[in-house]
Structure 1
Amino acid sequence: MKKIFLFLLFIPSFLIAQKTTILKGTIKNSKKEPVENVSIKFKNTGTSTDKNGNYSIRIPLDEEITIIYSHVSYRSITKIITAKSRNIIRFSPTLILKTEKLNEIVVKDIRKEASGIESIDIKTVKNTIGPNAGVENTLMTFAGVNNNNELSTQYNVRGGNFDENLVYVNGIEVYRPFLIRSGQQEGLSFINTNMVQNINFSAGGFQAKYGDKLSSVLDITYRKPTETATTIDASLLGASVTFEGQFLDKKLSTITGVRYRDNSLFVNSKQIETNFRPKFTDVQTYLTYDFSNKFELSFLGNFSLNNYNYQPLSRRTRFGTVADPLELVVFYSGQEQDKYLTLFSALSANYKVNDNFTLKTTASRYNTQEEEHFDIAAQYNLGEVDSNIGSENFGEVEFSQGIGSQLNHARNDLDALITNLQVRGTIKNNDKQWDFGVKYQKEDIQDRIREWEVIDSLGFSIRPPHHSGNNQPYDPFEGEITPYQSIRKDNNVAISRFSGFVQFNQRLFWNDHEVFYNLGIRAQNWSVTGNGVDSENQTIISPRLQFAIKPDWEKDMLFRVSGGMYAQPPSYRELRDFNGDLNVDVKAQKSIHFVTGMDYSFTMWDRPFKLTTEMYYKDLSDVNAYSIDNVRIRYRADNATTAYAYGLDMRLNGEFVPGSESWVSLGYLKTEENINNQGNIARPSDQRIKFGILFQDYVPNLPDLKAYLNLVYNSGVPGGSPSYSDPYNFQDRLRDYRRADLGVSYVFADNNKQFTTGLLSKFKELTAGLELFNMFDIQNAITNTWVRDVYSKTQYGIPNYMTGRVLNFKVSMKF
């Protein structure tokens, strides 16, 4: 009986031995030292190495398996094996220490939290889905940041406009082109995401060390490479190549990026049929040379060439209500040819006097050469659509309410040269820190404006909107035929600016509570010479204060208050009014900020989360009121407006899915202005409600398959009145902006998934995926086209819809 029992006991082992073989080897590190306790695992089977690095494990025959070699101190290795015979298979990989390559260090900087600065993970930025993927695209998921134009990288912050946002790269202010009218002309943001190391953002109440703008600060730092690598990104929207490395015994570090962008995939999804041939090209380089551990020289250069060739053919838009549907049909002739050439260079010298004192000197020059040339004729028909379901002509136009044409012409050329020199310093003494700086800036702008619009309605030329002396039909009108709008100007402007700041930071303890405060003051003096007319010297002073306390509580909470006086001396755009005339005596717009906020860090589902809440109020004076057409801002240039803005921003971020950061944001804003004491009306940026979700997920059983969702809801803004109109007569709002973008990608290789053999062994990183933009195909409007009904003497605002649903394929690799 015992023999039978033993025989039955060994049958399974015998059968298993017939269908398996042995995989064995010795695992060592790069120093040829054996590594103990390395985990070797496939499916539900596993083992580990002994003290000599040896291992042995049975694997099945004639079956492809994936074996993972992992250790807490080394990078994991994945090996795909198919055993064809019972012969012993040997595989002895070499493990590489994780500390040999340090891509980034995430440190919770309590000083930044105390000053209300948000730090954004560059990995999150790269994973955020959007038509204009990048830093700005991620910012637009924040509560206080808005934009209704997915083709633009510009953004409004807490009631301000595009021109009120500071953008720094390595401490150097960068600028955007002057003449761009629409988001589809922008092409590429200045910021190259593949070159970025750190991202800091403040939506208001920022420190004195930042410049003189009214709304926000985006502070970008490009990285110094620690390895030699090439990164390639390609999609149906364009491609980029980034090379980085160290040379000359690691004294010289360089990172260079080349990008190409083509927006035709999005433009072809719009209602206007076009021939569209854009070419957006950008080259950036960042070089650093370490002469010693105290002295470093760096260079940042950028070349950008955007050629925008646009030929509209036709358009068909239906709007109105179910009971009263209307249709606009337009046939175009002509084309638009724009060119935006940008050159930027900056040379910086960093000198570390000692451990507590550093100095940085920067000289930079920005040049933009812009051409805006177009002749586009449009013939339109505005008609009533037959809404009778039983009619033979259901859905067809049965009556024309407006028939006409218009011709738009422009030959605009602008050349702007901005040169500056600045010196900044930092002095530290334990928990105290002094920051100071001075800057001189010279701006030379040559602007030639030649643009006009002729409107014809039923064969009659429409007079300008503010004409007088026409008493038809009682008296014959004998005046000359003039364009509906016409600007013919030559502006030569020179602006000189001196600015400086000093601020003091300290961290101390009040009983057991941690306290942070910051006191600072900025000053700027400037003068303008425009068309031979000199302005008076103007000076503004901006004191600023920040205070934060982290109580010694069981709960991790931080409370902060910040504010001060902020001023924005006029740029060239703010000196020029709707008609192209210059006012060299335009004053600085001023704003008093008051911001109070709270950060609450906690653990939920054994994962970290953080709730950030901020309330703010802005009181604005000497405001230069403006109108917005797509992304073109046109100012009144008269400082005849007062305004205010207040609101609440909330954001909950954390690991809703283990290992992946996501967030939900909610914001409320109200901003109004009073032009020439006519009463309060909504400002163009009065976007009351903002809701955003940035969500990252992966398949639990297949963690390399990842999904990303970017969902934004913005309530409608005041609706795109004609730039020449009285805004008090146009307070209707555009429809709410709703958009959802979805991305799915698979990670073939990354830092935690390396291969030693096969094609994938050649990649440090390899990811491919699909992106579905505007997944619900929602029609969002950014502006209105205004068409006249000759019978009722009224104008109809026909919405200009943005992009529809678009599918994009994307691949990213790093060698």
Structure 2
Amino acid sequence: MSFLLPLFLLLSIHVHSQSAKIQGIVLDKNDTPIPGANLSYAEGGTQTNENGYYSLPLPVGKEVVLKITYIGLKKIELTIPALEAGQQEELNFVLKTDVEEIGVVIIDSKRNTRVEGVTTISPETIRKIPGANAGVENLLKTLPGVTSNNELSSQYAVRGGNYDENLVYVNEIQIYRPFLIRSGQQEGLSFVNTDLVRNVEFSAGGFQAKYGDKLSSVLDISYRRPVDFGASLDLSFLGGSVSVEDVSKNGKFSGIAGIRYRDNSLFVNAKETETKFKPRFADAQTYLTYQFNNKFELSFLGNVAINKYDYEPLTRQTNFGTLSDPKALLIYYEGQEKDQYETYFGAFKATYKVSENYSAKLIASAYNTQEQEHFDILAQYRLGEVNTDIGSEDVGEVEFSEGVGSQLTHARNDLDALIINIQHLGTIKANKHQIDYGLKYTHEDIRDRVNEYEIIDSAGFSIRPPLDGFQNNQPYNPYNAPIAPYNNIKAFNSTKIDRFQAFAQWSYKTLVGESEAWFNAGVRSHTWNISGDQIKSKTQQVFSPRAQFAIKPNWEKDMIFRISGGLYYQPPFYRALRDSTGLVRPQVKAQKSTHIVLGNDYIFKLGGRPFTLVSEAYYKAITDVNPYTIENVRIRYRARNNAEAYAYGLDLRLNGEFVPGTESWVSFGYMKTEENINNRGYIARPTDQRLKFAVLFQDYVPAIPALKFYLNMVYNTGLPGGSPSYADPYNYQTRLRDYRRADAGFSYVLADRDNQYPAGHWLHRFKELSIGFEIFNLFDNQNSITNTFVRDVYTKSLYAVPNYLSPRVFNLKFAMKF
């Protein structure tokens, strides 16, 4: 397969590498490793990784003048004597405070994230923490303000927003996701490959103008730039992944590539619906960099994902109701579903350092997704009372049917989307000031065929569509006209969207009295034009001013105070333009949010170990709201700006070394969000999740330090349960049960960087090797994601039947690095 080429290329580079090399760690004065420190000489250079480690090839037989630099710290310059071919030397460096810049605020990489209100997450923590859909998004769901009640989905909602309101960047390149996903079990793999990740930063609101136009959050990910050969392999009952990385002999070319495969059968087979299920989720990803000289660098990020989902449901029994009135829904299915999602993504990024004070970047990317959603499923159901007599032979069986009926669903949905971006970014530095600017053009070409219908029959009577002025008096007054679908959507859209975006922002670090201060202010503009077949062309424009301020008082206590906010817009993407009939409405306006965030970081020591308490209070006033409904992870918009909304809340997170040598945290969030549709009064939004508690905990057995324990635990109060199609949401404000989930993992480390075996031992070849055992949904809680609304025409009742998520599941895992 073509995507294996980068792996073989990297392996061949390693085989032919025979240069001298220096390696080691760059530290600050507190002996803390510095990630992102620059090491350079006339013909090449590198950066330290997230652990402060570097590996730098040097020319053979030649003296080299090496420079080690990091912003805010004193530069080191020294001469490395000539080395012989194959010679390796370990050199560790300590960068001290630059006394010449004492009037400037000294902000290291961690301090930067503190003043900007950004959460950083260690890649190693991401890879270790258990989760049904392990990865970056799995850890995001443990943060306050971030919610998701579907463990099989990588989607998440932030502070009252929906899944479409979050920006995702990899190496400053915007990432997209498929359109037609309905449920978490269809999703497969997130774009982000954690084997390739170097750094993760997350902002839950009040982010800078340099980021795009969304209402809720930014996930900013950097992929690793290799400094030496390495490989990893992970295997489990859920699939596997392999990655390879290397650097060329002269150190100019480096690359990392990974392949992943995932199979969700372990979860789907454990659910209440008996199915024949064939998931095939696979992707290949690579990040390549070539440094022509100290000024110019070219990189490539590529991804190919092929996801196929064949689903044939057989039977389902769901017990619900109360102890005094237990009920059950029993369904027999015929038919099947065949879905396929193929995405292709490629991006080139050129970086040119014009001078010490000015650098420019040019980014060009293309994203293509080809998706199909085809199904014909006939569901025949019985709704009745459950036998609760413990002594009875048929306890748990449906003994009396209150309603019977059938439902036929059909879909032939196909979508082909091509998104092309060209972007220029620039950074100018002058003394204490920094100016960032950017220009971006985006072309979106989307061809979409939607053809789906639903026919409902109850007690032998076809249920009419919900037409205005029609009263359903069946079965007493039968409806004798031809059968009409209850839901029927048929449309073909060929839509083109051209976007022009620009931003400029200014940052300034200084002293206010004896306190360190940081300022940031900027503005974005976004102009878009929508055109297409049978669409009247429409152009709109918005401006988004944003600002941040942080101050660190000269106190004995280590505290930082922040305030940020602005006017945030979200111009409609294609899905937000399509209404419930399948038609595209180009007049849909950008949703607008006036957003303010107040934050505080407090670093203190407890038991001799450092802890950080992060507190943020926020408020969002949202106008021109485009109302929507959520069905599992599928969002369906009204395509009308006929509502207003608000969201406010408080987020708290305490993180630190609860156990020496490990990072853990406890999160708490309170949030309320409501919307007012057509001035009818405020009701809960679909993402109104009031309370959240989360714990991420790492530990080890003191007597057996190689035995590790990981716990990922989340509690969320219930979301609104949704409403039937075409129903009035004001009549359906009941909530789902609370979401409670705990995932636990046990790992025994056979080898790691601190426990290397001597040459000749079979474990010597491994840099890391561990075997793990995971328990998903440790306490076997019965969580639900949505309701299925079952209609009984005879009793004129409508029942909300919960759709339950996965029960307790066990997994075995092997992880190794070479």
**TM-score of the pair, normalised by structure 2:** 0.86
SS of 1:498's equivalent in the other structure is strand
Residue by residue over 1:310-368, the C-alpha shift from the partner in whole angstroms, topping out at 9 and shown as x without a partner, is 11111111111111111111111111000000000001110000111100000100000
SS in 2 for 1:656: coil
Alignment partners' CA distance in 2, 1:723 and 1:194: 41
Q: 395-404 vs 278-287, which deviates more?
A: 395-404
Q: Which residue of 1 aligns with 2:28?
A: none
What is residue 785 of structure 1 aligned with on the other side?
A: 788
The percent identity for this pair of structures is 60
Structure-1 residue corresponding to 2:657: 655
* Structure 2 equivalent of residue 202 of structure 1: 203
Task: Please state if 1:628 is matched with 2:630.
Answer: yes
Question: Quick check: 1:560 aligned with 2:537?
Answer: no
Structure 1 window deviating more from structure 2 (503-512 vs 722-731): it is 722-731
CA distance in 2, matches of 1:248, 1:532: 57
Letter in 1 for 2:245: E
Select 2:808's aligned residue among 790, 797, 805.
805
Is residue 753 of structure 2 the alignment partner of residue 767 of structure 1? no
Q: Is the 8 A contact 2:409 2:454 kept in 1?
A: yes
Q: Which residue of 2 aligns with 1:646?
A: 648
Q: Match for 1:732 among 731, 734, 744?
A: 734
- Give SS of 2:658's match: strand
Distance (Å, rounded) in 1 between the aligned partners of 2:393 and 2:414: 53
1:398 paired with 2:416, answer no
CA–CA distance in structure 1, aligned partners of residues 733 and 787 of structure 2: 13
The 2-side partners of 1:668 and 1:280 are apart by 36
In 2, Cα distance between equivalents of 1:140 and 1:299: 30
What secondary structure does 1:384 align onto?
A: strand
- Counterpart of 1:703? 705
From the superposition, tell whether residues 101 and 507 of structure 1 become closer, same or farther in structure 2 (CA, over 3 Å).
closer
Residue number in structure 2 paired with 1:357: 358
The CA deviation at 1:723 is 3.4
Pairing 1:221-370 to 2, within 5 Å after superposition = 221-370=222-371
Contact 1:365 1:419 in 2 (8 A): yes
Q: Give the Å deviation of 1:117.
A: 0.9
SS at match of 1:463: coil
SS of residue in 1 equivalent to 2:764: helix
Q: Partner of 2:797 in structure 1?
A: 794
Give the Cα–Cα distance (whole angstroms) in 2 for the partners of residues 230 and 113 of structure 1. Answer: 33
**CA deviation digits over 1:425-484, x for unaligned, max 9?**
001123210000000000000000110111111111111123555686798745332111
Q: Is the 8 A contact 2:463 2:793 kept in 1?
A: no
The alpha-carbon deviation at position 391 of structure 1 amounts to: 6.7
The amino acid that maps onto 2:504 is: V
What letter corresponds to residue 763 of structure 2 in structure 1? Answer: L
What amino acid is aligned across from residue 579 of structure 2 in structure 1?
A: D
State the shift of 1:548 in Å.
Answer: 0.6
One-letter identity of the residue aligned with 1:738: R
Cα distance in structure 1, aligned partners of 2:618 and 2:471: 50
Query: SS of the residue aligned with 1:490?
Result: strand
Give the drift of 1:767: 1.1
Query: Over residues 729-749 of structure 1, what are the superposed CA-to-partner deviations in whole Å (9 max), with x where a residue is unaligned?
Result: 110000000000100001111
Give, in whole Å, the separation in 2 of the partners of 1:354 and 1:96: 32
| Change in 2 beyond 3 A, CA 1:790/1:384 | farther
Residue 502 (structure 2) aligns with:
500
SS of match in other structure, 1:138: helix
Deviations 1:609-653 (A, max 9, x none): 000000000000000000000000000001001000000000000
> 2:320 is matched by which residue type in structure 1?
F
C-alpha spacing 1:342/1:213, structure 2 compared with 1 (3 Å): same
Partner of residue 26, structure 2: none
Alpha-carbon distance in structure 2 between the residues aligned to 1:498 and 1:224: 31
1:117-266, aligned counterparts within 5 Å?
117-266=118-267
* Alpha-carbon spacing, 1:472–1:523, altered in 2? closer, same or farther (3 Å): same
Counterparts of 2:752 and 2:693, CA distance in 1: 33
User: Which residue number corresponds to residue 541 of structure 1?
Assistant: 543
Name the aligned partner's letter for residue 626 of structure 2: N
Deviations 1:464-508 (A, max 9, x none): 123555686798745332111111100110000000000000010
In structure 1, the partner of 2:611 is 609
Whichever residue aligns with residue 542 of structure 2, its letter is I
Q: How far off is 1:399 after superposition?
A: 1.8
For the residues of structure 1 that align with 2:93 and 2:189, how far apart are their CA atoms? 31
> How many positions carry a matched residue from both structures?
723
For 1:248 and 1:391, the matched residues in 2 are separated by 76
Which of 478, 482, 489 is matched with 1:480 structurally? 482
C-alpha contact 1:786 1:795 (8 A) present in aligned 2: yes
How far apart are the structure 1 equivalents of 2:246 and 2:702?
Answer: 36
Q: Deviations over 1:187-218 (max 9, x none)?
A: 00000001000101000000000000000000
AA matched with 2:207: F
Q: Equivalences for 1:351-750 in 2 at 5 Å?
A: 351-387=352-388, 394-466=395-467, 468=469, 477-750=479-752
**Which amino acid in 1 is paired with 2:578?**
R
Shift of 1:550: 0.1
Structure 2: give runs of 5+ residues left out of the alignment: 1-19, 22-52, 55-86, 95-106
Secondary structure at the aligned position of 1:142 is classed as coil
SS at 2:723 equivalent: coil
Secondary structure of the structure 2 residue equivalent to 1:739: strand
Please say which structure displays the higher CA radius of gyration.
Answer: 1
Mapped to 1, the partners of 2:227 and 2:332 lie a distance apart of 56
Offset at residue 564 of structure 1 (A): 0.2
Specify the SS of the correspondent of 1:455: strand
Contact 1:383 1:402 in 2 (8 A): yes
Task: Specify the code of the residue in structure 2 equivalent to 1:280.
Answer: F
* Partner SS, residue 536 of structure 1: strand
Q: Are the counterparts in 2 of residues 416 and 444 from structure 1 also a CA contact under 8 Å?
A: yes
Q: State the partner residue of 1:82.
A: none
Distance 1:247 1:406, change over 3 A: same
C-alpha displacement at 1:301, in angstroms? 0.5
SS at match of 1:109: helix
Pairwise CA distance, 1:123: 1.2
TM-score (norm 1): 0.86
Q: After superposition, what is the alpha-carbon deviation per residue over 1:3-46, rounded to whole angstroms, capped at 9, x for unaligned?
A: xxxxxxxxxxxxxxxxxxxxxxxxxxx99xxxxxxxxxxxxxxx
For 1:761-795, what per-residue CA distance to the aligned partner results, in whole angstroms no more than 9, with x for missing partners? 11111111101000111110001111123343111
The one of 772, 775, 779 aligned to 1:776: 779
Contact 2:626 2:640 in 1 (8 A): yes
Distance in 2 (alpha carbons) for counterparts of 1:164 and 1:315: 34
Maintained 8 Å contact 2:196/2:256: yes
Aligned mates of 2:777, 2:181 — CA distance in 1: 24
How far apart, CA to CA, are the structure 2 residues paired with 1:391 and 1:272? 25
Change (3 A) 1:167 1:456: same
Amino acid corresponding to residue 274 of structure 1 in structure 2 = T
- 1: CA distance between counterparts of 2:541 and 2:377? 44
CA gap of 1:662–1:476, structure 2 versus 1, over 3 A, is closer
Aligned counterparts of 1:478 and 1:430: Cα–Cα separation in 2: 82
How far residue 389 of structure 1 moved from its aligned partner, in angstroms, is 5.7
Letter in 2 for 1:771: E
Q: 1:493 to 1:234 in 2, by over 3 A?
A: same
Change (3 A) 1:484 1:98: farther
| Distance change in 2, residues 1:478/1:806 (3 Å) | closer
Taking structure 1 as reference, are residues 678 and 290 closer, same or farther at Cα in structure 2, changes over 3 Å only? same
| Equivalent-residue separation in structure 2 for 1:716 and 1:149 (angstroms) | 12
Is the contact between residue 530 and residue 584 of structure 1 (CA under 8 Å) also seen in structure 2? no
Check conservation: 1:324, 1:387, Cα contact below 8 A.
Answer: no
2:458 and 2:794 in contact (8 A); partners too: no
- Mapped contact 1:624–1:638 kept (Cα < 8 A): yes
